[in-house]
Amino acid sequence: MRSEYQHLIDLNDYPVSWWKNVVELGEKIRNNPESYAHVCDGKVMATLFYEPSTRTQMSFQTAMIRLGGKIIGFDNPANSSVAKGETIKDTTKIVSSYADILVIRHPIAGAAKAASLTADCPVINAGDGGHLHPTQTLTDLLTLKIEKGTLSGLTIGMCGDLINGRTVHSLCKALSQFPGNKFVFISTPELRMPAYIKDIIKASGSTFEEVDTLEEAIGGLDVLYMTRIQQERFASKEDYLAQKNTYVLDRKKMLLGRKDLIVMHPLPRVDEITVEVDDDPRAMYFKQAKYGVFVRMALVMTILAEKKSSETLRGKIYGGVRCSNPRCITNHEEYLPKSFRSSGDETLLECEYCDERKLI
Ligand code: NCD
């Protein structure tokens, strides 16, 4: 199924050269933001945020305003017709007829893809449940490019809620496409990286190991990517409390890290990094959030300038087969075609919206 517009739902829908160009443009903009002040004169961006956000929403809005464009949207669906039961299909159909580009964040996996099926303008995924967050990844790539000078040959530790953290899913998928990167996943057994991400890393020729403690990993890392335990994605408060406070990066642990280590975090931070670490020159998370504006300016410019079409659904419908993930958009919005990719022998299907696997 093709759409007339170029959407960004998952970075891996595009060749690496495309994201590299966006990151390089982000770097150019950072060095000379004023010269891009009128690139989007007369254009409108709609930001539809069905889930809380500070950085992602405001950095997209800032990006559009700094490019000369204007913004509309909501950050609380309770104030829109969503509260009356309007579907994603209808909301995006209407809003995309008002705006030139639509940015959507939603608590359910696959929601941005669902929006892209009917939108009459390009759609950018600003986070879909615990699934993906491609524009945070562009921010992270720009941060690595500026602060480490490379996107290859890095040893990257990812710590915390690796099962629910959409930022680390997207980042792993992206960094595994560059040569020589190694991943160290630091989490409790309950919060390990999903199998489908580990399979992507294996298929790419990158390597990963899984460890239980920060102390055993930190000394060997070029990059430590800390994440928040995603309270809102746990089945119960008890399950969350059992994981809370497991990993806390403090000054003592930073002593074990190399001099050239950088510490990243998509933010918001809860208690996984103590405030004393903020003054360590290796703490990069506030700069990282600032770089997000430049890379989003680059992304908006690229998408609006290219005017390409994109493939939205590539898979097949297997009569009556549904995704088994209760937090997949296809189990919330009935009209969506239930489309799956097959692994070759057609007994293992992967949902095209949320990547959940299913044996049939
Ligand atoms: C992240 C997100 O929303 O996934 N934040 C962000 O976009 N900067 C991380 C988080 O909420 O923990």
Query: Residue 276: CA atoms inside 13 Å, Cβ hemisphere, count?
Result: 8
- Compute and round to an integer the Cα radius of gyration of the chain: 20
pLDDT value, residue 332: 97
| Cα 266 to averaged position of ligand 1 atoms, centre (Å) | 6
pLDDT value, residue 354: 98
- Alpha-helical segments (H) within the chain: 16-31, 55-66, 88-98, 111-118, 134-148, 166-175, 195-204, 214-218, 237-243, 251-254, 285-306
Question: Which of 47, 49, 50, 56 is the best mutation target for the ligand 1 pocket, counting ligand atoms within 8 Å of the beta carbon and taking the most?
Answer: 56
Mean pLDDT in residue range 142-151: 98
Query: Tens digits of per-residue pLDDT, 70-109?
Result: 999 999 999 888 999 999 999 999 999 999 999 999 999 9
pLDDT value, residue 67: 98
Report how far residue 19's alpha carbon sits from residue 137's, in angstroms, rounded to the nearest whole number. Answer: 10
Mean pLDDT in residue range 135-140: 98
Tell me the C-alpha to C-alpha distance, in Å, between residue 282 and each of 214, 223, 269, 290. Answer: 16, 10, 16, 16
Look at ligand 1, atom 11, and give the residue with the nearest C-alpha.
268
Query: Tens digits of per-residue pLDDT, 225-273?
Result: 999 999 999 999 999 999 999 999 999 999 999 999 999 999 999 999 9
Burial class (CB in 10 A: 0-12, 13-18, 19+), 74: middle
Mean pLDDT in residue range 29-46: 97
- The answer to whether the 2-133+290-311 and 134-288 domains have the same CATH topology is yes
Domain spanning 316-359: CATH 2.40.10: no
Q: Does the beta carbon of 3 sit less than 6 angstroms from any atom of ligand 1?
A: no
Please give the mean pLDDT across all residues of the chain.
96
| Cα 321 to averaged position of ligand 1 atoms, centre (Å) | 32
Q: Does the beta carbon of 327 sit less than 6 angstroms from any atom of ligand 1?
A: no
Q: Does the beta carbon of 133 sit less than 6 angstroms from any atom of ligand 1?
A: yes
Closest approach atom of ligand 1 to CA 292: 8
Whole-prediction pTM: 0.97
Q: Does the beta carbon of 127 sit less than 6 angstroms from any atom of ligand 1?
A: yes
Please state at what angle helix 88-98 crosses helix 111-118, rounded to 10 degrees. Answer: 60
Look at ligand 1, atom 12, and give the residue with the nearest C-alpha.
228
The CATH architecture assigned to 2-133+290-311 reads 3-Layer(aba) Sandwich (3.40)
Q: Does the beta carbon of 105 sit less than 6 angstroms from any atom of ligand 1?
A: no
Give residue 356's Cα distance to chain centre.
17
pLDDT value, residue 113: 98
| Cα 59 to averaged position of ligand 1 atoms, centre (Å) | 13
| Cα 52 to averaged position of ligand 1 atoms, centre (Å) | 9
Query: Tens digits of per-residue pLDDT, 312-358?
Result: 999 999 999 999 999 999 999 999 999 999 977 778 999 999 999 98
Closest approach atom of ligand 1 to CA 53: 3
pLDDT value, residue 87: 96
Closest approach atom of ligand 1 to CA 133: 4
| Cα 344 to averaged position of ligand 1 atoms, centre (Å) | 34
| Cα 168 to averaged position of ligand 1 atoms, centre (Å) | 10
pLDDT value, residue 70: 98
Could you tell me the two tokens for 137? Answer: 């990844």
What is the CATH topology of the domain spanning 134-288?
Answer: Rossmann fold (3.40.50)
Could you tell me the two tokens for 56? Answer: 């992602």
Task: Give residue limits of the domains in the chain.
Answer: 2-133+290-311, 134-288, 316-359
